[in-house]
Amino acid sequence: MEIPTSTLEIIRLALDEDIGYGDITSSLLIDEDHESRAVFIAKANFVLSGLPFTREVFYMLDPDITFNVFIKDGSKVSKFDVLAEVYGKTRVLLSCERVSLNILQRLSGISTMTDMFVEAVKGLNAKIVDTRKTTPGLRYMEKYAVRMGGGSNHRFGLFDGILIKDNHIEAVGSIREAVKLAKGSHHLVRIEVEVENLNDLEEAIEAGADIVMLDNMSIQDMKKAVRIAGGRVALEASGNVNLENVREIAETGVDLISVGALTHSAAAVDISMKIVK
């Protein structure tokens, strides 16, 4: 797996933030040549995600570190499972402990929440997708975690997808004009339009949108929207989606359900790193 340079830089900044001028505790207590083996242990049941980035944390401080993975990302793990091991200079292991755990716990939390949403709509047509509501700088890692949880990625950023939202429409004047302008410049990119009511849905379809996002619509209006669309466009449900209502939303027949909570509200899971004899 090739990690983007921008993500590697974020990992490096995280190490700089934590270590600063040096790990004074480890340097005072541990001999420079002392070596140890440490293991990552699950302290709960969850869906694992983040080991490639965790490995990179150690490699940045010492490329001679040995890092072995026992359970692959995307796997469901149980409490007390040993996820991976790392072997090398003890000072390096201790200096990397917190940053490596922060990444692994955060990403596994996202993949675990994603898995819960995917399971909730199992057997239905709708796909669970993420949003751009990610931690600044961590988008690549967090969207990776969504995939490990069985979800799909929406557009990565403003550069790789056209999504005409309410403020665009307000600035341009109408849905029809916004779609016309978008089609005139980017005929190879699918155009998605956000709508808040069924009249706007019909306008978006007639204007030539490829995907229509149903923003905060009621279940009844979503059902009507599916009938109106009749397969002419893909439909995405968005807004106030949670585990209690996601299956009912999927049952309306929409194609996509975007869930911002996957990345902005997932709780970190409990993982420990322990030095062993």
pLDDT in tens, 121-131: 999 999 999 99
Q: Of these residues, 165, 176, 190, 224, which one is catalytic?
A: 165
pLDDT digits (tens, 9 = 90+) for 50-95: 999 999 999 999 999 999 999 999 999 999 999 999 999 999 999 9
What pLDDT score does 199 carry?
A: 98
What number is the average pLDDT over the span 233-250? 97
170 vs 176, 204, 207, 231, 270, CA distance in Å?
Answer: 12, 14, 16, 27, 45
State whether 218 and 90 are in the same domain.
no
Q: Taking all residues of the chain, what is their mean pLDDT, rounded to a whole number?
A: 97
What pLDDT score does 61 carry?
A: 97
State whether 180 and 232 are in the same domain.
yes
State whether 101 and 124 are in the same domain.
no
Q: Of these residues, 37, 132, 133, 155, which one is catalytic?
A: 133
Q: Of these residues, 194, 203, 236, 255, which one is catalytic?
A: 194
What pLDDT score does 1 carry?
A: 85
Question: Is pLDDT above 80 for 188?
Answer: no
Q: How many domains is the chain partitioned into structurally?
A: 2
Q: Of these residues, 12, 98, 183, 247, which one is catalytic?
A: 98
Residue 83: CATH number of its domain: 3.90.1170.20
State whether 105 and 124 are in the same domain.
no
- Chain CA centroid to CA 257, Å: 14
What pLDDT score does 126 carry?
A: 98
Question: Is pLDDT above 80 for 275?
Answer: yes
In the chain, the percentage of residues whose pLDDT exceeds 90 is: 97
State whether 77 and 26 are in the same domain.
yes
Query: Which backbone phi and psi does 27 adopt, to 5 degrees?
Result: -70, -30
Q: Of these residues, 56, 215, 236, 255, which one is catalytic?
A: 215
State whether 218 and 186 are in the same domain.
yes
Q: In terms of Cα–Cα distance, which of 215, 211, 210, 177 is closest to 196? A: 215
State whether 96 and 134 are in the same domain.
no
State whether 93 and 148 are in the same domain.
no
Domain containing 29 equals 5-118+266-276
Tell me if residue 98 is catalytic.
yes
Tell me if residue 165 is catalytic.
yes
Amino acid at the residue 11? I
State the pLDDT confidence band at 14, using cuts at 50, 70 and 90: very high
Tell me if residue 215 is catalytic.
yes
Tell me if residue 43 is catalytic.
no
pLDDT digits (tens, 9 = 90+) for 171-187: 999 999 999 999 887 77
